[in-house]
A = this chain, B = another copy of it.
Amino acid sequence: MFHSQVFLRCWKKVSFVDAKTGLYGVFGDPVGHSLSPVLHNWFMRRFGINGVYMAFAISADRLQKAIQALPTLGFVGVNLTIPHKEAVLAYVDHCDLQAEIIGAANTIRIVDNRVDAYVTDADGFVLSLHKQQQRFHNASVVMLGAGGAARSIAYALARLQVARLAIINRTYSRAESLARFVRERFQLPDTKALPEGEQLEGLSSADIVINTTSVGMYPYTSESLVKDPRVFHNGQLVYDLIYNPSATRLLHDARRNGAEIQNGLDMLIYQGLVSLNIWRQDTYELRAADLQELRQVLTQELAAHE
C-alpha cells in the first residue's frame, strides 16, 4: 500500500518539509495534548505556507533558556500556554501594547535577533463571535472565573463595549481584584465582583454568561459552576471557553432552558489565526468551508485523545 501510486501522489503533495521550511511551535507544560500543532499545521497547508508547528514540553525553570534559544535556532515564532503566559514577559525584548495591558502573552515573534511578545486571546474571542458580536454592545455580562483567561476576555468585553460586567469566582477576593484591574486598566467602569448572595439574581438578569474556568472540562464533565440551571432562559447567550467536551454540563443546562450556547472551539481557532497573522505579517482569513473543516479536524483529534 505504501508504494502505491496513490500514496506517492499524496506524499508529493504534502511532503512539505524541506531545507526552507520555517519552524513554529508551542511552549507549555504539559503540552502533550495540545491541539495547536494540528490547528497550525492545518493553517500551513491551507494557506500554502512552508512551515511546521511543533509542541515543546518546557518546564517553568527552563522557559528563559528556551526563549533565548529561539533566535539562535531561527524559529519564526511560538505560542505560549500554561504555565508560561505571564512569566514570559520578563524574557522578551519587546512587548506589544495589548500584551502589556493584559499582563500576559501567548505569541512570540522572532525578528532578526529580537524576541517580541503579543497576546491573541482577546482578538480570538471577538472573532469567534461572528455575527453574535453585536449582542455584546451595551449588554450585561456575567463572567465565571478570575484567572488569566478571564483577564483576556474582560479586555475583549471592554472593547466590545458591554454595559456592565459582573465577576463570579470561588475565591471572592480574586474576583474583586480582577474587577478593580478591569475598571482601572480596561476602562470598563461598571465592573464588579458578585458576592454569593447576588449570584442567582446576577445570572438570571444577565444577557450573556461566559465561563472562563476549567470547571466542566474533560474528564470532569458532570461539574458546573452554576448550580441552579433555572437562571438560564430564552434570549440569553451562554459561552463556555471549554471545547472538550464540545458541550459542557453548563452549556447543556443552558440549552435545555432555552439559552443560545457557544463552546470554545472557534476561539481556539481564531486566536491561532491571529498568531499566524502576527508571525507572517499577513491577513489570512477563514472561509465558512474552512471553519467547518477545521472544527471537524480538531474534534476528531480530541476524540483520538480520549
Residues of A at the B interface (CB closer than 8 Å) are: 2-3, 7-11, 13-15, 17-21, 23, 31-38, 41-42, 45-46, 52-58, 62, 65-66, 68-69, 72-74, 289, 293, 301
From A52, A289, A293, residue with most partner B Cβ within 10 Å: A52
Contact A66 B56 (CB under 8 A): no
Please judge, given known A-B contacts A14-B15, A17-B37, A33-B19, whether A3 and B293 are in contact too, CB under 8 Å: yes
- Nearest CB on B from A84, distance (A): 14
Chain B residues in 8 Å Cβ range of A31: 19
For A58, A68, A74, A301, the residue with the greatest tally of chain B CB atoms inside 10 Å of its CB is A74
Nearest 6 pairs between A and B by C-beta?
A10-B10, A69-B69, A19-B55, A19-B34, A65-B72, A17-B41
Q: What are 6 A-B pairs with beta-carbon distances under 8 A? A: A10-B14, A14-B14, A14-B15, A19-B36, A21-B55, A56-B74
Report the separation of the CA atoms of residues A73 and B62 in the bound assembly, to the nearest whole angstrom.
Answer: 9
Residue pair B11, A14 in contact (C-beta under 8 Å): yes
Extra 10 A-B pairs, beta carbons < 8 Å, given A2-B46, A7-B13, A14-B15: A3-B289, A8-B293, A17-B41, A17-B53, A20-B32, A21-B37, A56-B73, A58-B73, A66-B73, A69-B73
Output the least CB separation between A292 and chain B (Å).
9
Name the B residues within 8 Å of A56 (CB-CB).
Answer: 23, 73-74
Closest to A38 in B: B18
* Chain B CB within 10 Å, residue with most, of A2, A9, A35: A2
A19 → chain B, closest Cβ, in Å? 4
Please name the residue on chain B nearest to A21 by beta carbon.
Answer: B54
A68 neighbours in B (Cβ, 8 Å): 65, 69
Give the distance to chain B from A16, nearest Cβ to Cβ, in Å. 9
A104 to chain B, nearest CB (A): 22
Across the interface, do A62 and B72 meet the contact criterion of CB distance under 8 Å?
Answer: yes
Chain B residue at smallest Cβ distance from A2: B46
CA of A13 to CA of B4, assembled, Å? 13
Q: Give bound CA distance, A254 to B17, whole Å.
A: 36
Contact call B10/A13, Cβ cutoff below 8 A: yes
**Cα distance A55–B31 when bound, in Å?**
24
Whether A41 and B19, one on each chain, are in contact in the complex, defined by CB atoms closer than 8 angstroms, is no
Q: Which residues of B contact A66 (CB under 8 A)?
A: 69, 72-73
Q: A56-B74, A57-B74, A65-B72 are in contact. Are A19 and B37 (CB under 8 A)?
A: yes
